[in-house]
Structure 1
Amino acid sequence: MKVVDNHVEMSDEEASSAVKGHGVRYVLAISLILTILLMSAVWIIPALLDR
């Protein structure tokens, strides 16, 4: 963080107080795939058993 003229300038990392990682992307992708598989199983298994 540095003072320039009458205002403070800081980097994106300093402003968010965290390091932006790629972990969120993987969590979202995995949870989406698992949700699709689970919802498909809930729909397909009863359809196969009703025959």
Structure 2
Amino acid sequence: MDSPEKPTRLSGEEARAGATPHMTRYILPISLTLIIVIFAIMVFR
């Protein structure tokens, strides 16, 4: 165990502890578009 006086330094990659794929920039607009289309279909039926 580290001593309380010595702070632990982590890099950004170590702190995230995983990969950060850039899928959100595609998933968010696609899902938002689908929701708007579904709601439009429901309203105009």
Q: Above 0.5 in TM-score?
A: yes
Q: Of Structure 1 and Structure 2, which has the larger fraction of its residues in helix?
A: 1
Relative contact order: is structure 1 or structure 2 higher (C-alpha 8 Å, sep ≥ 6)? 1
Gaps of 5+ in 2: none
Runs of 4+ displaced beyond 3 Å: none
Q: Of Structure 1 and Structure 2, which has the larger fraction of its residues in strand?
A: 1
TM-score, structure 2 normalization: 0.69
The count of residues paired between Structure 1 and Structure 2 equals 41
Larger Rg: 1
Q: CA RMSD of the aligned region, Å? A: 1.7
TM-score, structure 1 normalization: 0.64
